[in-house]
Amino acid sequence: MARIDEIESDVFRLSIFSTESGFQYNAFLVRDEEPLLYHTGPKLLFSQFSQAAASLIDLKQLRWISYSHFESDECGALNEWLTIAPQAEAVTGIVGVAVNGEFAIRPIRGLQDNEVFSTGKKSFRYLRTPHLPHGWDAGMLFEETDRTLFTSDLFHQNGDVEPITETSLMARFKEVLQNSQSPFSNYIPYTLHTEEQLRRLADLKPKTLAVMHGSSYKGDGKSVLEELIKVFQEM
């Protein structure tokens, strides 16, 4: 079963380390009046992730399933989750719905940039971030109550690392970006719009960065995102 760690109040990091890929797959379960899952994980890991989630909530009560962009670890097991949770509705950006929405067994709700929805005590804002981390359908969720930013592949780290850290993620992420032997080398493009998007995220002043591959971060998220701007400019 996946390892479970509470990284913020009622925000649980479900993590599975893959020896084949050399990094962790992390999904995030938000326990609230209307529970939310961020990242479905790939189909092959559905059994482990769903068992972990079932130890925290009644899966039939899962209400929201969200993800950044169309990719196997982001939404590969979406239909399995929709099947086990009949009340659940998938939500992602309008571009993702328009381009890839037909793969789901139930309609996916498309979110406009800056659209907000509530799960009860927590409030989520959708931020459209095309090509950050990658893909024109990319976006992120920001939980406004506790200021948690779900960063998808941004800040990817290799290895079976600790669930959460207060140390900057930049050294590990920079290694992934610059490692010429890695298939992920340069997998996050730097475009004319990247700095603008990162500054927008930094201005949210997140207190927690919920990272899909690697440790999550707790601390001054604004400074970490501003540090990332400098890293991209130097590459």
First-residue to last-residue Cα distance in the chain: 38
Name the residue among 227, 209, 205 with its Cα closest to residue 218: 209
Name the residue among 62, 187, 186, 202 with its Cα closest to residue 127: 202
CATH number of the domain to which 198 belongs: 3.60.15.10
Output phi, psi for 95, to 5 deg: -65, -45
Domain span holding position 214: 3-234
How would you write the pLDDT of the chain (235 residues) with one tens digit per residue? 899 999 999 999 999 999 999 999 999 999 999 999 999 999 999 999 999 999 999 999 999 999 999 999 999 999 999 999 999 999 999 999 999 999 999 999 999 999 999 999 999 999 999 999 999 999 999 999 999 999 999 999 999 999 999 999 999 999 888 875 555 566 788 888 899 999 999 999 999 999 999 999 999 999 999 999 998 888 7
Number of domains present in the structure of the chain? 1
Burial (CB count within 10 angstroms: exposed 0-12, middle 13-18, buried 19+), residue 20: exposed
